[in-house]
């Protein structure tokens, strides 16, 4: 997953590229580079280095860059280590390009085009540049098409040809590219975050189409060379929401935004306390005709699916499976034309989820997706889309996007139960009224975040942390554990409490840190006895539980009282506490909370 930006027009390009790359850095940040075309000589110069965009800015500062056309890239390494040579852009012959994706047949291509000894990097991208150069004979459209026909894999290429100065081309398959015409020129990027300051309208470059951008206009061609009209969409958020607004990290800001995001989401997707998805075009038919539901997602989005599964089973009495999207296609899933597949994705670009959705559709399933980014690839692949409208989520660790996915699943399960006659109108409305208490409960936790900060200080030096819960509390802990792992680098594992005695309990010794959560009344006695099991073996227990449960569970643990909402909705409340816990551990350890090592916000490689 990399960040790409390109511009050609009247304005000086250097800062457009560098500022854009900074906004895209959450997509990958192990090296960065730009290629700029001198406005006098029309020569292309490349500046690139391992490190962050700030390091690239320092490199560019030493150069006299007088250019109004250029392309830029911030990298998440796939092929080839993190070093200056492997940073993009890459050049070969007349071609200079940047790439997001993976070319699977790069080795065969290196042999086919006798590239031995001609390459300066270990990347698949430089080999692709050589292939584009091989097929370029003066006609960019034909050259790009013929080169792409040789490539296997995923890609978003942004290409410049030395003899066509100040014109930029792009072609993609799966990896995203959006483009726009602005009053001062034309521009493209991996996602709308980087162009939102220049335009209110943009379009996604369709797969296997060629975009040609000049200073004055842009043209889109299909692979037969026929020009097609771009489908423009409006940018659906004000750009300033992409700033930190005084918070040290985006993650803390986005955690703090959750009460408002969830309150707005519920208000926007209910009418008179009844879930209502008519605005999203989600017909009730989709919810009452299906015989079973398959949820496909990755990471936090998959954890949100666990709540969806629990509620659709318990309230709508529908069989539901939750599948790791990366495993789904290889697990011989049982999908029929009576299956409703639900793809969950903040970015709408996660290739594992996109491919899983396409696979399920090919088996006859109806496709619904729960997405945050409008116009994204998964949205375009779905028959119906429910947008979470959480606004841009910049921190790699998902927080408000995750809880907004939970809230959508709550409303979707309630709508499904109502239209299938499993809940009466009044029962459904009562659940929604309970769900409406969640934002205030989240605010209460935010008001006591220093207590969580104090708990975080107690686990800063931990090496292994057990996170235990039963039922929905286990789902809560899977997400809590992911948060802790990905931003604090502490190894933690979520365990179903009842499973501990079947093996993992052997690992519990004196002062083993165990974080427990207890929010489900029906499981309380068992959860308390599991906590006592680890406590009796010397564990240091931290308990997150409802106030009432804490009274019953005893005060012998370090604890944090969770505000009380209906058990089914406690996931949304407990999530905020565990997000803050992970956040404080990471920030107190001095890490870049928003950009954890080895990760990226959008995973567009399988
Ligand atoms: C969550 O904190 C992680 N950043 C990651 O697990 C993420 O949820 C996953 O990669 C799915 O991303 P998506 O929602 O954009 O598809």
The DSSP code sequence of 385-409 is EEE-------SSS-SHHHHHHHHHH
Whole-number Å distance, alpha carbon 323 to ligand 1 midpoint, is 14
Equal CATH topology for 3-234 and 446-594? no
CATH number for domain 3-234, candidates 3.30.420.40, 1.20.210.10, 3.60.20.10, 3.90.1210.10? 3.60.20.10
Q: Is 265 helix (H, G, I), strand (E, B) or coil?
A: helix
Looking at ligand 1, which residue's alpha carbon is closest to its atom 4?
397
Comparing CA positions, the residue from 262, 263, 244 lying closest to residue 253 is 244
Residue 522 carries which DSSP code?
Answer: G
Beta-ladder partners of 72:
5, 34
Among 27, 350, 379, say which to mutate for ligand 1: greatest number of ligand atoms within 8 Å of CB: 350
Q: Could you name the CATH architecture of 446-594?
A: 3-Layer(aba) Sandwich (3.40)
Write the DSSP assignment of 14-55 as a string of letters. HHHHHHHHHHHGGG--SEEEEEEEETTT--EEEEEEES-HHH
Catalytic, out of 48, 145, 546, 601: 601
What pLDDT, on the 0 to 100 scale, is given for residue 473?
A: 96
Q: How far is CA 420 from the centre of its chain?
A: 32
Please report, for the chain, the start and end positions of each structural domain, with discontinuous segments joined by +.
Answer: 3-234, 243-436, 446-594
Residues lower than pLDDT 50 in the chain: none
Q: Which residue has the tokens 């423009």?
A: 232
Residues contacting residue 120 through CB under 8 Å, at least 6 positions apart: 85, 126
Q: How far is CA 181 from the centre of its chain?
A: 27
Among 191, 249, 300, say which to mutate for ligand 1: greatest number of ligand atoms within 8 Å of CB: 300
For residue 547, with 0-12 CB atoms within 10 Å meaning exposed, 13-18 middle and 19 or more buried, which class applies? Answer: exposed
Whole-number Å distance, alpha carbon 256 to ligand 1 midpoint, is 19
Q: Which atom of ligand 1 is nearest to the CA of 353?
A: 16
Comparing CA positions, the residue from 177, 75, 172 lying closest to residue 122 is 75
Q: Which atom of ligand 1 is nearest to the CA of 601?
A: 4
- In order of 5, 194, 241, 252, 264, the CA distances from 244 in angstroms are 22, 15, 8, 9, 20
Whole-number Å distance, alpha carbon 594 to ligand 1 midpoint, is 13
CA gap 260, 389 in Å, rounded: 11
Query: Catalytic: 422?
Result: no
Torsion of CA 445, 447, 452, 454, to 10 degrees: -160
Class of domain 243-436: alpha beta
148 contacts 105 by C-beta, under 8 angstroms: no
Residue 538 carries which DSSP code?
Answer: T
Whole-number Å distance, alpha carbon 45 to ligand 1 midpoint, is 36
Q: Which atom of ligand 1 is nearest to the CA of 303?
A: 8
Beta-ladder partners of 75:
31
What pLDDT, on the 0 to 100 scale, is given for residue 242?
A: 57
Enter the tokens of residue 424: 């009466």
Whole-number Å distance, alpha carbon 486 to ligand 1 midpoint, is 11
Catalytic, out of 2, 69, 290, 410: 2
Comparing CA positions, the residue from 505, 479, 503 lying closest to residue 579 is 479
Query: Catalytic: 298?
Result: no
What pLDDT, on the 0 to 100 scale, is given for residue 279?
A: 87
Whole-number Å distance, alpha carbon 182 to ligand 1 midpoint, is 31
Which protein residues are within 6 Å of ligand 1, measured from CB? 298-301, 345-347, 350, 353, 396-398, 482, 486, 602-603
Among 305, 308, 325, 346, say which to mutate for ligand 1: greatest number of ligand atoms within 8 Å of CB: 346
- In order of 70, 148, 225, 574, the CA distances from 143 in angstroms are 20, 9, 11, 55
């Amino acid at each position: 997953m990399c960040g790409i930006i390109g511009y050609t027009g009247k304005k000086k390009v250097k800062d457009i590229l560098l500022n854009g790359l900074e906004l895209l850095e959450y997509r990958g940040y192990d090296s960065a580079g730009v290629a700029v075309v001198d406005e006098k000589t029309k020569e292309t110069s490349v500046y690139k280095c391992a490190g962050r965009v700030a390091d690239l800015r320092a490199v560019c500062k030493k150069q006299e860059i007088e250019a109004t056309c250029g392309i830029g890239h911030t990298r998440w390494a796939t092929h080839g280590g993190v070093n200056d040579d492997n940073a993009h852009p890459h050049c070969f012959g007349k071609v200079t390009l940047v790439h997001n994706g993976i070319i699977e047949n790069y080795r065969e291509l290196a042999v086919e085009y006798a590239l031995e000894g001609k390459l300066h990097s270990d990347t698949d991208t430089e080999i692709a540049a050589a292939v584009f150069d091989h097929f370029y004979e003066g006609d960019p459209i034909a050259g790009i098409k013929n080169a792409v026909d040789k490539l296997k894999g995923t890609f978003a290429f942004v290409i410049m040809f030395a003899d066509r100065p100040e014109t930029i081309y792009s072609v993609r398959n799966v990896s995203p590219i959006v483009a726009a015409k602005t009053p001062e020129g034309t521009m493209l990027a991996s996602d709308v975050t980087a162009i939102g300051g220049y335009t209110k309208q943009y379009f996604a470059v369709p797969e296997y189409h060629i975009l040609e951008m000049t200073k004055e206009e842009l043209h889109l061609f299909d692979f037969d060379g026929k020009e097609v009209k771009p489908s423009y969409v409006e940018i659906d958020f004000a750009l300033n929401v992409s700033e930190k607004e005084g918070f040290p990290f985006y993650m803390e800001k986005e955690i703090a935004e959750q009460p408002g995001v969830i309150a707005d989401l519920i208000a926007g997707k209910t009418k008179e306390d009844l879930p209502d998805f008519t605005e999203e075009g989600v017909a009730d038919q989709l919810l009452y005709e299906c015989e079973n539901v398959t949820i496909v997602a990755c990471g936090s989005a998959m954890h949100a699916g666990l709540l969806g599964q629990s509620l659709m089973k318990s309230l709508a009495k529908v069989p539901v499976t939750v599948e790791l999207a990366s495993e789904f296609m290889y697990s011989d899933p049982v999908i029929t034309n009576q299956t409703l597949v639900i793809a969950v994705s903040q970015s709408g670009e996660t290739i594992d989820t996109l491919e899983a959705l396409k696979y399920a559709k090919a088996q006859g399933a109806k496709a619904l997706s729960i997405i945050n980014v409008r116009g994204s690839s998964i949205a375009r692949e779905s028959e119906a889309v429910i947008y979470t409208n959480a606004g841009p989520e910049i921190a790699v660790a998902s927080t408000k996007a995750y809880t907004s996915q939970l809230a959508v699943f709550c409303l979707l399960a309630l709508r499904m139960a109502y239209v299938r006659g499993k809940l009466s109108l009044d029962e459904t409305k009562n659940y929604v009224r309970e769900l409406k208490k969640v934002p205030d409960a989240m605010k209460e936790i935010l008001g006591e975040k220093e207590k969580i900060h104090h708990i975080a200080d107690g686990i800063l030096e931990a090496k292994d942390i057990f996170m235990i819960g039963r039922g929905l509390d286990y789902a809560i802990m899977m997400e809590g554990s992911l948060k802790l792992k990905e931003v604090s680098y502490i190894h933690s594992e979520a365990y179903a409490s009842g499973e501990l005695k079947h093996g993992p309990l052997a690992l519990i010794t004196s002062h083993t840190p165990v974080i427990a959560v207890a929010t489900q009344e029906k499981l309380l006695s068992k959860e308390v006895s599991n906590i006592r099991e680890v406590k009796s073996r010397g564990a240091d227990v931290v308990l997150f539980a409802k106030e009432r449960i804490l009274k019953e569970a005893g005060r012998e643990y370090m604890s944090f009282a969770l505000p009380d909402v209906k058990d089914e909705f406690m996931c949304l409340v407990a999530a905020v506490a565990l997000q803050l816990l992970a956040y404080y551990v990471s920030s107190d350890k001095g890490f870049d909370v928003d950009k954890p090592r080895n990760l990226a916000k959008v995973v567009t490689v399988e």
